Amino acid sequence: MNFLIDFFGNPANWSGPDGIPLRFAEHLEFTGLSLLIATLIAVPLGLWIGHTGRGALVVVLSANAARALPTLGLLVLIVLLMGVGSTAPVLVPLIALAVPPILVNTYEGIRGVDPDLRDAAYGMGLRGGQVLGRVLVPVALPLILLGLRTAAIQVVATATVAAYVGLGGLGRYIIDGLATLRYELTVGGAVLVGLLALAVQGLFALIQRVCVSPGVSRRRKVR
Amino acid sequence: MITFDGVTKRYPDGTVAVDDLSLEAPTGEITVLVGPSGCGKTTSLRMINRMIDPSAGRILLDGVDVTTVDPPTLRRGIGYVIQQAGLFPHRKIVDNVATVPYLLGWDRKKAQARAMELLERVGLDPGLAGRYPFQLSGGQQQRVGVARALAADPPVLLMDEPFSAVDPIVRASLQDELLRLQSELNKTIVFVTHDIDEAVKLGDRVAVLRVGGRLAQLAAPAELLAEPADDFVREFLGRDRGIRRLSFVPADGLRLRTDLTVPVSAEVSSVRGTAEAWLAVVDSGGRPLGWVAPKDLPDSGGTLAEVPAAPYGTFVRGRDSLRAALDATLLSPSGNALAVDGSGRVEGVVTREALDEALARIAEDARG
């Protein structure tokens, strides 16, 4: 508890290049950018593979690769290849981390839609794209959002590694605190990361509520 | 009219689902495709709206080969109802019904007004329009499925085992509803089922298919029951074929006796001496009360209202079949049936002798 009071009570921690607002903003930048790019890659790919049934192997490989991939190792490798100085090196491993859960869930969501429903949609005279956009996506949306949420939380937690290669973000506090034996920094940084993860969770609950049809989430009473 | 002209569907693995099928589904009639699983009935249906394309032969819709029409365009002009209804779970009932009008670019208001009209038409409370599919029972969902298929008023309706997933009571009411709708709409309907009773009840013409996708017989239900083409059809039709066939013979031809009724106000003593074994007692409005046997009447005063009457069975003349008349005779110890008019007034009595004559005529027909 004392660590928290020391950390959050210290005015020096609230301003300047080491201040909480700036570190928080940096953390959000890594997280937001890598999630955005991962989403732009994985959602269309997942929709396409799920809808056409072609390239399902990519999904399996990606899911397995995700388990085997050492984020920190990849980060160091990229830094060695590209050098420090931009945020790009930290984005690459974070994107690599975020793509598989989004891809797998989007694919499974689309593929898992009741075949009768797909059949009815085509039978009514919807074209392929309309079947995907007007029927499959709305019905698969809870799973697609689950993939995005899983990815977001993982990325929020893992973006702390940026600090290992001299970049900013909330990881700075954790690494620096350990290095300088100022444990209030480490604990404070960890708490901030945890809070951010909770906020992400809350944000997705809200998106789910707004975007998913009550007919799919079954939020209404049965008669 | 839908014409199958030598249609074959062969899959790459060599399986033949439909084998050289030629038949016609006449405009404004219900044609039922029936057969055991694996007989290609659903495949045949799905070739009409190009959910599947044939390997050989042609399917003509009013003379136009369906394979020359772009599938989505073709399908928007053909109503399609499937077994599990296949409603869009994320859309409200009204929007589900309006699916095809929306696709055709109708104004939203007009499409929804049409959807509301159809919900009523298929016997659903318009108050359900704002619900989602999961909030409806299976039978209600199936009605919505029918309404959705009818939304853009297509001349042709394809129904793939639409009622087989609901319980028997709901199924019977959905079947009656379909027949009522069809009497108003006169669509060209192709209906697939594995249930021969459903086929015989709904079909103007029934096509029995055998495993391997070959047509075994195409006939009107009464003809099918009377003259099955071969052992396969006979076996598929099942038991009680003779009795079931009576459903298609109108009871109008039965000889009626009008001298076997007595008013309930008659004196017991005046009836007791009658030579007839049974007399039907009717009230002042001509409605049946039951049967009395004159020789068993008590030796007492008073009117027939004071003596117990035996149970009776009725059928409606001009509407019911011979099967209903036969049923009515079996419901009474008198062995006679009461013929009533639409409002339930007794028109006369069908005796067992009269029924025997009618049954003998049918048996004579069966000799060919």
User: Going from the N-terminus, what domains does chain B have, and what CATH number goes with each?
Assistant: 2-248 (3.40.50.300), 252-364 (3.10.580.10)
Residue where the block lists tokens 């003779």:
B242
Residues of A within 8 A of B49 (CB-CB) are 123
B164 three-class SS? coil
CB contact under 8 A, B103 and A126: yes
Rounded CA separation B195/B201 (Å): 10
User: For an interface test with B, which of A110, A113, A118, A124 has the most B Cβ atoms less than 10 Å from its Cβ?
Assistant: A124
User: So what's the pLDDT on residue B272?
Assistant: 85
Nearest-CA distance from B24 to chain A in Å? Answer: 22
CB contact under 8 A, A124 and B87: no
Quick: pLDDT tens for B156-182.
999 999 998 888 888 999 999 999 999
Examine residue A97 and state whether it is found in any structural domain, yes or no. Answer: yes
Q: How confident is the model at residue A42 (pLDDT cuts 50, 70, 90)?
A: very high
- Mean pLDDT calculated for residue range A15-36: 88
> Can you give the residue range of the structural domain that contains A20?
2-216
pLDDT at A165 over 80: no
Residues of B within 8 A of A216 (CB-CB) are 89-90
**Inter-chain CB pairs, A–B, below 8 Å:** 81
Examine residue A180 and state whether it is found in any structural domain, yes or no. Answer: yes
The gap between the terminal CA atoms of chain A, to the nearest Å, is 51
User: So what's the pLDDT on residue B368?
Assistant: 53
Burial label, A51 (beta-carbon count in 10 A; 0-12, 13-18, 19+): buried
CATH (domain of A27): 1.10.3720.10
Rounded CA separation B148/B159 (Å): 12
User: So what's the pLDDT on residue B109?
Assistant: 95
- Mean pLDDT calculated for residue range A92-100: 89
- Note whether B309 and B290 are within 8 A (CB): yes
**B337: which residues sit within 8 A by CB, 6+ positions away?**
B313, B314, B315, B325, B326, B328, B329, B349, B350, B355
Rounded CA separation A129/A117 (Å): 15
CB contact under 8 A, B92 and A135: no
User: So what's the pLDDT on residue A221?
Assistant: 67
Q: Which one of A131-135, A172-176, B307-311, B317-321 scores highest in mean pLDDT? A: A131-135
pLDDT at A68 over 70: yes
ipTM over 0.90: no
Nearest-CA distance from A113 to chain B in Å? Answer: 11
Kindly give the confidence (pLDDT) of every residue in chain B, 368 residues in length, as a single tens digit, with 9 standing for 90 and above: 999 999 999 999 989 999 999 999 999 999 999 999 889 999 999 999 999 999 999 999 999 999 999 999 999 999 999 988 899 999 999 999 999 999 999 999 999 999 999 999 999 999 999 999 999 999 999 999 999 999 999 999 999 999 988 888 889 999 999 999 999 999 999 999 999 999 999 999 999 999 989 999 999 998 998 889 999 999 998 888 888 888 888 888 889 999 999 999 988 888 888 888 999 999 999 999 999 998 888 887 788 888 889 999 999 988 889 999 999 999 889 999 999 998 899 999 999 889 998 888 888 876 65
Residues of B within 8 A of A218 (CB-CB) are 132, 134
Examine residue A223 and state whether it is found in any structural domain, yes or no. Answer: no
- Mean pLDDT calculated for residue range A169-195: 88
Strand order in the sheet with B78-81: B78-81, B156-160, B188-193, B30-34, B205-210, B214-219
Examine residue A221 and state whether it is found in any structural domain, yes or no. Answer: no
Count structural domains, chain A.
1
Per-residue CA distances from B216 to B38, B40, B188, B206, B213 (Å): 14, 12, 22, 11, 9
CB contact under 8 A, A116 and B76: no
Q: Who among B71, B86, B87 is closest to A119 (CB)?
A: B86
User: So what's the pLDDT on residue A184?
Assistant: 86
DSSP alpha helices (H): ranges in chain B? 41-48, 71-76, 93-97, 99-103, 108-121, 138-150, 168-185, 196-202, 221-226, 231-237, 241-245, 268-272, 322-330, 352-366
CB contact under 8 A, A124 and B132: no
Rounded CA separation B324/B246 (Å): 8
- Note whether B273 and B298 are within 8 A (CB): no
Interface residues of chain B, partner chain A, Cβ below 8 Å: 49, 51, 71-77, 80, 82-92, 99-100, 103, 131-136, 148
pLDDT at A178 over 90: no
CB contact under 8 A, A139 and B90: yes
Q: How confident is the model at residue A207 (pLDDT cuts 50, 70, 90)?
A: very high
CB contact under 8 A, A213 and B86: no
Nearest-CA distance from B87 to chain A in Å? Answer: 7
User: So what's the pLDDT on residue A151?
Assistant: 95
Residues of B within 8 A of A121 (CB-CB) are 86, 88
User: So what's the pLDDT on residue A142?
Assistant: 95
Nearest-CA distance from B146 to chain A in Å? Answer: 12
Residues of A within 8 A of B124 (CB-CB) are none
